Amino acid sequence: MKGSVRILPTGDRAFVVELGEVIDPELNARVRALAHAVWESFREEIVEVVPTYRSFLVVHDPLRSEREGLVARIMAVAEDLEHRPATTETSRLVHLPACYGGTFGPDLEDVARHARLSPEEVIAIHSGATYLVYMLGFTPGFPYLGGMPPAIATPRLETPRQRVEGGFVGIGGQQTGIYPIESPGGWRLIARTPVRLFDPESSSPFLLAAGDRLRFEPVTKEEWADVAERVGARTYVPRIDTA
């Protein structure tokens, strides 16, 4: 691992630790493992560690830690991980109810036409896949998901919407994702989940984390409304399996 690690300065309080140049589940797992090890080893000296597809950002306090020494110790941790026996990663599988089409997915028909499939086939393909949460970003809790079948890849809108409400599930090129909060957005909206991915009033505000897996469970409008009511009353608990 040490030979593939690059350190990229990012201002006087942060730097990026880059492990590769591709988007790949195995590389992303190495990123998460090293990021976790760095946080556990140096949490008294650093402010935050933010994993991404193929790298992670280290925000540190220059008054508590001199950068050159911190970088050297991170490289040593990377070298140590390289020589440890491989371990089986335990991850969560989160099931999210989602209602497809209509007002819940106004772009489903467009995606179906582009893919030369029926809307029902798009739903089956999209909900039949298991997605990897590579990272969170863009807005609080927005999951960048890997694993979407290429058959339903669709270009983003030429003119993004100025307002997309939280919970909408979209397709943008080769990716699918979920808007956690209201924001502008140019992805094709095919479904909506009533489950909150970001809840600032909760002690655990983010439902998803990098390394989680995710499946969409198609529901009817009536089932969606029932879940939404329970979410509003804070009595709904998402189904989460561990493997």
Q: What is the pLDDT of residue 222?
A: 97
Whether 16 contacts 60, CB under 8 Å? no
What are the backbone dihedrals phi and psi of residue 204, each rounded to the nearest 5 degrees, phi first?
-120, 85
Tokens of 191: 């479904």
Domain 2-82 CATH (choose: 3.10.20.30, 3.30.1360.40, 3.20.20.70, 3.40.710.10): 3.30.1360.40
Model pLDDT, residue 203: 86
Q: Is 70 exposed, middle or buried (0-12, 13-18, 19+ CB in 10 A)?
A: buried
Residues of the chain with CATH 2.40.100.10: 92-242
Rounded to whole angstroms, how far apart are CA atoms 71 and 76? Answer: 9
| CATH code 3.30.1360.40 region(s) in the chain | 2-82
Give the pTM.
0.86
DSSP 179-223: --SSEEE-SEEEEE--S-SB-TTSSS-BS--TT-EEEEEE--HHH
Return the CATH class of domain 92-242.
mainly beta
User: 108-115 vs 119-128: helix axis angle to the nearest 10?
Assistant: 90
Whether the CB-CB separation of 128 and 151 falls below 8 Å is answered with no
Q: Measured between alpha carbons, how far is 71 from 9 in angstroms, rounded to an integer?
A: 11
Separation of alpha carbons 187 and 169, rounded Å: 9
Task: Give per-residue pLDDT as tens, 177-201.
Answer: 999 999 999 999 999 999 999 999 8
Say if residues 93 and 213 touch (Cβ distance below 8 Å).
yes
pLDDT at residue 91 in the model:
83
pLDDT of residue 65: 82
Residue with tokens 């198609």: 218
Q: pLDDT by residue for the chain (243 residues), tens digit each?
A: 444 789 999 988 999 999 998 888 999 999 999 999 999 999 888 999 999 999 999 999 888 888 899 999 999 999 888 777 655 566 899 999 999 999 999 999 999 999 999 999 999 999 999 999 999 988 999 999 999 999 999 999 999 999 999 999 999 999 999 999 999 999 999 999 999 999 998 888 999 999 999 999 999 999 999 999 999 999 999 999 987
Instruction: Report the distance separating Cα 9 and Cα 190, nearest Å.
Output: 39
Q: What gap in Å lies between CA 86 and CA 90, rounded to an integer?
A: 13
